[in-house]
Amino acid sequence: MQFNEHKSIYLQIADYMYDQILSGQWPDGQRIPSIRDLAVQMEVNPNTVTRTYTMLQDEGTLQNKRGIGYFTADEARKMVLGKRRADFINYELPAIFNTMRQLGVTPEDLHELFRKQSKE
């Protein structure tokens, strides 16, 4: 995985894990790679992955079944979808709207582009 220097690695790993959950690669209630296995896959220190797993467990996306491993929560996809949607609406859309204003892109332009994109 290529990491972006402008965001903490453990948060980028969390984003990867969210993507796995949203894409259906890691369905609700499924066992996921161990900390050590994911650290090898990502080519990072296991402590970094531990930090990610702890954060995701604290927010309820992951469950640790002692002696068995880590699993996605029963409603992990729903939780991740809500989190990603809220982040998009609260952080990304304002920046997009600002750029639209600066470039003179109207809501009608956006609607037409969205309509065209939906057909493809």
Q: Where are the domains of the chain?
A: 9-75, 77-119
Pull the structure tokens for residue 80.
Answer: 């991740």
Per residue in 73-118, pLDDT (tens digit) is 999 999 999 999 999 999 999 999 999 999 999 999 999 998 999 8
What does pTM read for this prediction? 0.84
> Which burial class, exposed, middle or buried, applies to 26 when counting CB atoms under 10 A from its CB (0-12, 13-18, 19+)?
buried
Region 9-75: CATH code? 1.10.10.10
* Inter-residue contact 64 to 23 (CB < 8 Å): no
Residue 1 has pLDDT above 90, yes or no: no
The Cα–Cα gap between 50 and 64 comes to 12
The sign of the dihedral angle between the CA atoms of 58, 59, 60, 63 is: negative
Mean pLDDT of the chain: 95
